Amino acid sequence: MDQSKRDFIDFMCSAEVLTFGDFVTKSGRSTPYFVNTGRYTTGAQMNALGAAYARSIVERFGDGFDVLFGPAYKGIPLVVATASALAREHGRDVPLCFNRKEAKDHGEGGVLVGHPMRDGDRVLIVEDVTTAGTSIRETVPILRAAADIELAGLIVSVDRMERGPAGAGSALAEVGREFGMQVEAIVDLDDVVEHLQPGGGAAHEIGTDDLARIAAYRAEYGVPGRLTAGPG
């Protein structure tokens, strides 16, 4: 694992975005860990977050996109921070867009805010976490209703490495196959567990109880990774 991934995991822990305990995900599953990007609360944190997304996008997508899209609500600050970092640190001034939860019936109207989608636009979706792929399946029809766009891909902060609804691999991979797009994560659960192992020297090590609960959760819901031979 490279240092940038370790730094990002430490960053999430410091901001209390990555926490361990008893939580319920959007998909309704009880989970021993949670990623809540709503806990990024300062300008410095948003700068660092945008820089992490931008770096991963440049490394993994190159120039293969024209527009960044952030699904409401958490995707809105993510897409703004990412677009700012791409311009500031990589010299790429990329248009951005996000959606409203409810269509506006006055002023400019509509559901989308920002860049007006055009036929042929290659859209890269910037999201926080994909557990079951629900939000992406809600987002894609909105984009396709606006124009004949191409889905360039999806990037999330953490791949939870959980089985998708179809049981044909991880939720993130299933979304990619379903919509024919590249999917990427800044880090995945294997990275998190590897970096935060007790005795590994990380600033935010997790205990053996947390590791056991994560292992049990993965045995029930996970897909195989570097650190486990869990169910496929």
Distance CA(8)–CA(165), nearest Å, equals 28
Residue 106 bears catalytic tag = yes
Which domain does 34 fall in, by range? 3-221
26, 106, 195, 204: which is the annotated catalytic residue? 106
The per-residue pLDDT for 228 is: 66
Count of structural domains, the chain: 1
For residue 231, being part of any structural domain is answered with no
Give the pLDDT score at 199: 86
The answer to whether residue 228 is domain-embedded is: no
| In a domain? residue 199 | yes
What is the rounded average pLDDT for all residues in the chain?
A: 90
Is the overall model pTM greater than 0.75, yes or no? yes
Residue 176 lies in a domain: yes
226 lies in a domain? no
Of 64-73, 178-187, 196-205, minimum mean pLDDT range? 196-205
**pLDDT value of position 232:** 37
Could you tell me the CATH number of the domain that includes residue 96?
3.40.50.2020
Mean pLDDT of 56-82: 96
In-domain check, residue 232? no
Q: Looking at the domain assignment, is residue 230 inside a domain?
A: no
DSSP 67-103: EEEE-TTTHHHHHHHHHHHHHHHH-----EEEEEEEE
pLDDT at 133 (0 to 100): 75
Looking at residue 164, what is its pLDDT? Answer: 82
What pLDDT band is residue 224 in, cutting at 50, 70 and 90?
A: confident
Most confidently modeled of 123-127, 169-173, 200-204? 123-127
In the annotation, is 5 catalytic? no
**What pLDDT does residue 103 have?**
61
DSSP characters over the chain: --HHHHHHHHHHHHTT-EEEEEEE-TTS-EEEEEE-GGG--SHHHHHHHHHHHHHHHHHHHTT--SEEEE-TTTHHHHHHHHHHHHHHHH-----EEEEEEEEE-STT-EEEEESPP-TT-EEEEE-SEESSSHHHHHHHHHHHHHS--EEEEEEEEEE--BB-TTSSSBHHHHHHHHHT-EEEEEEEHHHHHHHT-TTS--TTPPPHHHHHHHHHHHHHHB--BTTB----
Per-residue pLDDT reduced to its tens digit, 77-96: 999 999 999 999 999 999 99
Question: Which residue among 5, 74, 101, 104 is the active-site one?
Answer: 104
